[in-house]
A and B are shown apart, each in its own frame.
Chain A
């Protein structure tokens, strides 16, 4: 019950006019970037991050997380009204959302999407509220070997469970880890990989890389496509909202199933996309008339949206409790925390109670405020799409440059950002995933420190990673996950050998 009291305290911190105003601003900006073609969660947060540099950490994180909620809500608007998924995890929403809009039930579909996003996030936030303090107090007992094992687990699960070609994930990850190592070595103070350049002495800042990889590259990619669009405008009346809400209890199984899937996949890294599809497919499989899916069925909106938002939100759980982000956007938020000198991880719950509980409280409030805001302002946001991209693109470029420069006041960073933009563009086109790179960049130096500290502690004996039950289990699990595709195939092969007749 301690958590409950602290949460109430968190609400008390938040309920000032200034914070509420920041929340609204963050949500509006977030919906804006979510609706704009080509921008979405990680890009929006990366671009708008510099706006928050001058605020105190609590206001800043409230605004950032609201930008994130806003972007998630905004993605649903374009999926349903224009059949353009703003994010990969909105793809499943278009299956039934767009047909509904075509049948003139856009308002219903939007209400369903927003409400289910709200429910999904709420379940995940509840999970965070009660689980995060427990995990973090458990993790306080961790020494360097345990931490390294957890980092290893994160990296390995990306490689083993990711959908992309394995070698491409490995490339992305090792590149990120290497870039994180550029500059001064934190343990010995020696310079590494700087090649005599004074500019590289500072190292490659994570946020500069992210702004380039996500922001600039996305502009280049967006320009490639045809930007014409055609869709439906919609206003939502209170009557529709109430009628959808009245039907909600009928779909409780779908909502619950999707929330659970979302939370589970959100905590394991890289899960939001898988969660939305899995939520949709399971809802379809368990439905009595599967034929009606894809033709504008409200459950087809409920299922993926709930799952996507539950996983998007629960990705913040490992970030807060262990300092390990569960998604690209969470990694960027984590980078933001470090800018304010906050070191995410178990100690955060002890040293910065106000901050953590303020953030968790802001997740509740942000979702409630966001739900009301999107329900009332959909028509305005849908018309943002009328603004020509030629006007939006240069403004985004300018915002990116401001962001990149503001971090370390270095002109070199603007050039670095441009370079990363080109790299991001090429990588996205040949299918090298960017999320592992982002994660590696943000975790790189900590993973290395943990490794070296455990090596120093053990006198260079690798057995330290199997020295007790806990660390041994995590390390073994990491290795199993790394080779999961091979193991999976071996099991399937063995099963075929046992029952050859059925195959």
Chain B
């Protein structure tokens, strides 16, 4: 097959370095998550106990099923907590390195801002800003390409959902000004 000689090569200029120091180990995250789940189980269990987790004349009360689930969740998290303390080997593994965390934050923060912007500016304006901003600032893609891609994608979404299928999305001042 001669046409398999073609190669596709894609580079990743902003790739995280291999030797970046660890921010936190898996063991620590394991313990923290177990504690959080335990707390959640306690809160939910208490709430269901208050709702009523026993039997009345018609059968189990509304809190019965979830109450015992909270107990199971709590027990499993306790076990997880114990297991995390016992297994030292796993605990030393890296959960995330500094370079990785930086990259994850480079997605998470814009996503968070996008949700915030959706609340106040409407989804379409927010998505234009997210795509253009992300491509330009994180992807280091040429400004005109970023703006064009963002505009085309947002417009396509608007036409698909708002015009063609009547799926109403959160809207903001721009849509109001345009009379949609």
B135 / chain A contacts, CB cutoff of 8 Å: 388, 390-391, 394
Smallest CB separation, A165 vs chain B (Å): 7
Q: Which residues of A185-225 have CB atoms within 8 Å of chain B's CB atoms?
A: 185, 187-188, 190-193, 195, 216, 219-220, 223-225
Smallest CB separation, A436 vs chain B (Å): 12
Q: Give the number of residues in B that approach A within 8 Å (Cβ atoms).
A: 79
Interface residues on A, range: 35 or more
The reply on A150 being an interface residue by CB < 8 A is no
Q: Which residues of B30-69 have CB atoms within 8 Å of chain A's CB atoms?
A: 30, 33, 37, 40, 44, 47-48, 51, 55, 58-66, 69
A240 / chain B contacts, CB cutoff of 8 Å: 1
A389 / chain B contacts, CB cutoff of 8 Å: 12, 139
CA of A225 to CA of B149, assembled, Å: 25
Choose one: A104, A193, A426; the contact of B48 (CB below 8 Å).
A193
The reply on B76 being an interface residue by CB < 8 A is yes
A231 / chain B contacts, CB cutoff of 8 Å: 7-8
- In the complex, which residue of chain B has the Cβ closest to the Cβ of A53? B167
CA of A191 to CA of B63, assembled, Å: 9
CA of A181 to CA of B65, assembled, Å: 9
Q: Is the CB–CB distance between A429 and B96 below 8 Å?
A: yes
CA of A391 to CA of B37, assembled, Å: 36
Q: Which residues of A393-437 have CB atoms within 8 Å of chain B's CB atoms?
A: 393-395, 397-398, 401-402, 405-406, 409, 411, 414-415, 418, 421-422, 425-427, 429-430, 432
Stretch at the interface among A122-130, A285-293, A352-360, A452-460: A452-460
Smallest CB separation, B145 vs chain A (Å): 8
A175 / chain B contacts, CB cutoff of 8 Å: 37, 40, 73
Q: Is the CB–CB distance between B51 and A190 below 8 Å?
A: yes
A227-B15, A398-B127 known; A385 vs B8 contact (CB < 8 Å): yes
CA of A185 to CA of B64, assembled, Å: 11
- In the complex, which residue of chain A has the Cβ closest to the Cβ of B73? A174
A224 / chain B contacts, CB cutoff of 8 Å: 16, 96, 100, 103-104
B4 / chain A contacts, CB cutoff of 8 Å: 101, 104-107, 232-234
- In the complex, which residue of chain B has the Cβ closest to the Cβ of A227? B12
Q: Which residues of B58-111 have CB atoms within 8 Å of chain A's CB atoms?
A: 58-66, 69-70, 72-73, 76-77, 79-80, 83, 95-96, 100, 103-104, 106-108, 110-111
Smallest CB separation, A465 vs chain B (Å): 14
- In the complex, which residue of chain A has the Cβ closest to the Cβ of B107? A223
Smallest CB separation, A205 vs chain B (Å): 16
CA of A426 to CA of B35, assembled, Å: 14
The listed residue with most A CB atoms (<10 A of its CB), out of B16, B29, B59, B135, is B59
CA of A430 to CA of B130, assembled, Å: 29
Q: Is the CB–CB distance between B118 and A401 below 8 Å?
A: yes
- In the complex, which residue of chain A has the Cβ closest to the Cβ of B137? A390
Choose one: B29, B110, B165; the contact of A426 (CB below 8 Å).
B29
CA of A427 to CA of B95, assembled, Å: 11
* Contact bitstring B105-130, A, C-beta under 8 A = 1, else 0: 01110111011001100010001001
CA of A412 to CA of B42, assembled, Å: 25
CA of A167 to CA of B100, assembled, Å: 28
The reply on A54 being an interface residue by CB < 8 A is yes
- In the complex, which residue of chain B has the Cβ closest to the Cβ of A189? B62
The reply on A177 being an interface residue by CB < 8 A is yes
A107 / chain B contacts, CB cutoff of 8 Å: 1, 3-4
Q: Is the CB–CB distance between A235 and B48 below 8 Å?
A: no
The reply on B22 being an interface residue by CB < 8 A is no
B165 / chain A contacts, CB cutoff of 8 Å: 53-54
The reply on B157 being an interface residue by CB < 8 A is yes
CA of A481 to CA of B141, assembled, Å: 53
Smallest CB separation, B68 vs chain A (Å): 9
A406-B167, A430-B95 known; A223 vs B131 contact (CB < 8 Å): no
Q: Is the CB–CB distance between A390 and B170 below 8 Å?
A: no
A171-B77, A402-B123 known; A226 vs B65 contact (CB < 8 Å): no
Top 8 closest pairs, chain A to chain B, by CB = A390-B139, A233-B6, A456-B59, A228-B12, A174-B73, A185-B62, A227-B12, A54-B165
Given contacts A53-B167, A230-B10, A397-B111, 19 further A-B contacts (CB under 8 A): A107-B4, A165-B83, A167-B83, A170-B73, A192-B48, A220-B108, A223-B104, A226-B16, A228-B10, A230-B9, A232-B6, A235-B3, A385-B8, A385-B10, A391-B135, A402-B167, A402-B169, A421-B111, A452-B60
17 contacts between A and B (CB under 8 A): A54-B166, A107-B3, A107-B4, A167-B79, A185-B62, A191-B51, A220-B104, A226-B15, A228-B10, A229-B8, A234-B1, A382-B8, A389-B139, A398-B153, A402-B123, A405-B170, A448-B65
